[in-house]
């Protein structure tokens, strides 16, 4: 409630919605700007399959992405192939995290096998493969 102007000493019985609308517009703009940034990882066109499980939520896993052009990303950080072994050793093996592989469906098979060879050589035995569900369009992992 606000006090009325003019000195009558009575209170206004009307609600001023202008501050409410201002706050809502600011929040709307904030959400519109930050929503595209909340998508996880690198933009990869995933292959489709029938049986996928939801990726676990939390920080106990890392996602290794291979883009169409062969660029390799560990989470959202670009990693040259020559440094991949060191990064996997430091971030996955030493911290005992689960690794998931996201490869674009148009990446050459040889590139995927080469990366999987590096993963195996570091000592990572369980590797989850991320795919898109053919029925619902949801993204998940094929069992590690």
Domain with residue 69: its CATH number is 3.30.420.270
Q: Please report whether residue 17 resides in a domain.
A: no
Tell me the pLDDT tens digit for each residue of 55-114: 666 667 888 899 988 899 988 889 999 999 998 998 888 888 888 888 888 888 899 899
Give the residue with greater pLDDT, 101 vs 52: 101
* 106 inside domain: yes
Whether 7 maps to a domain, the answer reads: no
Residue 11, in any domain of the structure: no
- Cα–Cα distance for residue pair 130/54, rounded to 1 Å: 9
CA dist 113 → 58, 61, 118, 124 (Å)? 27, 21, 9, 14
pTM, full prediction: 0.61
More confident residue, 106 or 8: 106
For residues 42 and 66, what is the distance between their CA atoms, to the nearest angstrom?
A: 9
For the CA atoms of 38, 42, 48, 49, the dihedral, rounded to the nearest 10 degrees, stands at: -80
Average pLDDT, the chain: 79
Query: pLDDT > 70: what percent of the chain?
Result: 69
> Which residues form the domain of 104?
48-142
Residue 60 belongs to a domain: yes
Indicate the number of domains in the chain. Answer: 1
């Amino acid at each position: 409630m606000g006090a009325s102007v003019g000195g009558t000493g009575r209170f206004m019985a009307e609600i001023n919605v202008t501050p409410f609308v201002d706050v809502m517009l600011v929040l709307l703009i904030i959400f519109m700007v930050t929503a595209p940034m909340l998508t996880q990882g690198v933009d990869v066109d995933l292959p489709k399959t029938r049986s996928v499980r939801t990726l676990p939520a939390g920080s106990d896993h890392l996602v290794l992405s291979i883009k169409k052009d062969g660029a390799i990303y560990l989470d959202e950080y670009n990693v040259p192939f020559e440094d991949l072994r060191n990064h996997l050793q430091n971030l996955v093996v030493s911290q005992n995290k689960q690794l998931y592989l996201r490869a674009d469906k148009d990446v050459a098979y040889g590139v995927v096998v080469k990366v999987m060879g590096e993963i195996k050589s570091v000592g990572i035995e369980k590797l989850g493969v991320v795919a898109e569900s053919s029925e619902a369009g949801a993204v998940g992992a094929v069992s590690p």
